[in-house]
Structure 1
């Protein structure tokens, strides 16, 4: 029998919630990402519980046990129980009654199997009892072992329940799939038949999903498949995935940076189409502008900082398919630490007004061209 064995399932807060619900006569299981990632040996960030108890019952049970219950998503069957500073989401078994591709009308159920069938991929329909025993109602264990991302039942039906599942399919393949084995053919056919549904999604949801996808260790296979099947062009017209695998290679030993990878894809109106935050918009614009400038690595670091210069060095090399020469990083470090030795007062009264600004720019250009080596006395007459 397969079991999950991570320390997370032994957490006193998690076990206390499970015991509380079970003692009230209800089923309770861990579900989804915590079970999947435990079996993969991947990090676990959130613990989710699934139960046949209705939300109002969960709240009543928690109140009687002296635990705090917060109706964080009670309309969707979710209650968050807070124990010792830990919040655990407890969601009632559900089954879909009606969907329109963006939201579903659901009914509560007493059966774990109903709950499993409304999930997206078989690897996400794995449950674990409080003692660690894994319950696999839909064959997710075999798919997980093979690192095969497979829709539950008919892919087209699952996609039409929520068109964001198109992007989730590629994201999950990037994170958990076996690139060497390729993608599930039925899933790709379902995606191709439902591309129009992407237009119904909010830009915020698309943007969040794309950034999660690009944060995978190597998303290039998934993004390449998105381009071939028409998904990438639908959400980012003009985007080109060819530089992405080169960038991923050049990024070796660096943490994955989804925004840098987004810059490598190109395309028009990216910030608007993905509804990026103001901070991300600014950084993306800086990267894309600097990629096309004539500024060297040192000057970029001097004007914008070492991080932006590093981004641009890698992006330029990825675009050309070239390598990054070892000396460029010392240029970046030097530029980031450089301080222009001339102050406006040094040029007064000989230069004033617009002439002062022009002279400062001229001297700064000479100083940058020297590799930041010219000193104050070298620049002043």
Structure 2
């Protein structure tokens, strides 16, 4: 028997929810079980139950817990216990699907609920005491081997929900063993289902891509996307080899989706991936400064230390070498530098003439590697 060990398993909120549901069938399910077994952080705690949604609402009310009917028509109620939200969903089986959404019927069979999920490692359940259940019979072994594969027939799972194409690559980047390669059946099914990507919202596509690119090393998964044709469907013109090269240059830098998007290129990423205004602005800055003549100190001064480091690493794509320590130090120095001259120091100037002169002095000061003093500049 496999037993899950995790702090959240016995947290006050978890205990309160299971106590409220009484002796009825209820299990932790999905990502919290998967990540708990891998020793990874758990963001959301999902629970499935034999109870119908209204029964969950009634039991929660009787126990004094806040109940929110977040998706009650599809079987989901959110309970808040000890300040933590728990998503409670009635066991379900699919009746029909349209390639994105499913019509479901409630069931009392754990195996039927497991069969409608996407990947074997996501169809794991745990009792309130931590005993792990694997209705499909392959989830635990696949998770142990860090092998990502669809439940049952991969093409059928994708036909049920085309978003699973992108989830396949995202989960591979985060949870699979890159040395083990990528599941051939799953990759072939993704390639065959490419036309379904056009039916997905750009917001969902962007969310999946950004999460994928925040993985410690997304390059093997993105290379597989490129091989299957999915990358071209999502972001035409993007280059997976450039991402592979960039991840080799990043060293200990924290993963960053926008830095990696800048390396990959691609047509109209802000619109195709529905980037926020701040993300689109940073992407445009990185792409412009990658080939600009700005020195490291000026990059740090104008954009800050972290953006400057990102830009210097991106510039390394041309030489296939990481930035030197000297360049990084100069960028840090520039980020900390403060222009010593103020408008009040130039009382004889005003309006556009004042602004132009300040800009000229600032340029001279930057070109001196920030060594010129206030007196030097004013004289």
What is the TM-score when the length of structure 1 is the normalising length?
0.94
Aligned equivalent of 1:191 = 190
Query: What's the CA shift string for 1:85-127, capped at 9, x where partnerless?
Result: 1221110011111111121111111111111011100000001
**1:327-338 correspondence to structure 2 within 5 Å:** 327-338=326-337
Moved more, 240-249 or 82-91: 240-249
Contact 1:244–1:318 (CA under 8 A) maintained in structure 2: no
Q: Tell whether the 8 Å contact from 2:67 to 2:79 is kept in structure 1 after alignment.
A: yes
Contact 1:3 1:132 in 2 (8 A): yes
Deviations 1:216-254 (A, max 9, x none): 111110011111111111111111122223322333223
Partners of 2:343 and 2:126 lie apart in 1 by: 69
Q: Is residue 95 of structure 2 the alignment partner of residue 101 of structure 1?
A: no
SS of match in other structure, 1:81:
strand
Q: Name the stretch that deviates more: 93-102 or 371-380.
A: 371-380
1:10 Cα deviation (Å)?
1.2
Partner of 1:212: 211
What RMSD over aligned residues (CA atoms) do the two structures have, in Å? 1.8
Equivalent residues of 1:243, 1:321 under 8 A apart: no
Q: Which runs of 5+ in 1 are unaligned?
A: none
SS in 2 for 1:14: helix
Query: 51, 54, 58: which is aligned to 1:53?
Result: 51
Map 1:230-249 → 2, pairs under 5 A: 230-249=229-248
**Shift in Å, 1:334:** 1.6
- Report the CA distance between 1:65 and its aligned residue: 2.4
Shift of residue 312, structure 1, vs aligned partner: 0.6
Q: Please state whether the residue corresponding to 1:336 is helix, strand or coil.
A: helix
2:126 maps to which residue?
A: 128
Write the distance in 2 (CA, Å) between the matches of 1:147 and 1:244: 23
Q: Is the 8 A contact 2:250 2:313 kept in 1?
A: yes
Work out whether residues 249 and 321 of structure 2, in 8 Å CA contact, stay in contact via their aligned partners in 1. Answer: no
Superimposed CA distance per residue, residues 125-151 of structure 1 (whole angstroms, 9 cap, x where no aligned partner): 001111211110111111111111000
Post-superposition shift, 1:353? 6.0
Corresponding residue of 1:8: 8
For 2:354 and 2:101, locate their aligned partners in 1 and report how far apart those are by CA, in whole Å. 62
Unaligned runs of 5+ in 2: none
Aligned length: 378
Contact 1:264 1:319 in 2 (8 A): no
State the match for 2:295 in structure 1. Answer: 296
SS at match of 2:93: strand
Cα gap change, 1:377 to 1:151, in 2 (>3 Å)? same
| TM alignment of 1:309-320, pairs within 5 A | 309-320=308-319
CA distance 1:363–1:170, change in 2 (3 Å): same
Q: CA deviation at 1:363?
A: 3.1
Q: Where does residue 86 of structure 1 map in the other structure?
A: 84
For residue 75 of structure 2, the aligned residue among 71, 74, 77 is 77
Aligned equivalent of 2:265: 266
Secondary structure of 1:91 counterpart: strand
Distance in 2 (CA, whole Å) between partners of 1:347 and 1:47 is 61
